[in-house]
Structure 1
Amino acid sequence: DAGELLKKNDFDMAILDIMGVDGYKLLNIAKQKNITVVMLTAHALNPDNLVKSIKEGANS
């Protein structure tokens, strides 16, 4: 599971998808470990998701 991988390993960067496994949940785990996060999406692109990603700590 991606969440467990983020919790148990050290990464310099995580590239996450907003869709699929809850991307925002993974974003929170990564930010707790000071992992740089880039959020990608093909289907959920709208202003609300962009703002939420940045407010929750994704790098812009």
Structure 2
Amino acid sequence: MSGNDYLKFMTEQVVSYIDLPAEERKKRKKKEKFSKPAYSSRWLGVLPFALKVFFRK
């Protein structure tokens, strides 16, 4: 991806976010804040993921 494409993409993302009503932005923020990571990651960190990747290869 060239620099111009990336800049265009980021500009579109920012503009679409700004165009949302304030209530919708707050709802999105809350949803992202309270979404829980996977059980194994939450309790054990990156170790389960690293072991899974190690054993699959």
TM-score, normalization: structure 1?
Answer: 0.25
Decide which structure has greater strand share.
1
Larger relative contact order (C-alpha < 8 A, sep ≥ 6)?
Answer: 1
Decide which structure has greater helix share.
2
| Larger Rg computed on CA atoms | 2
TM-score, normalization: structure 2?
Answer: 0.26
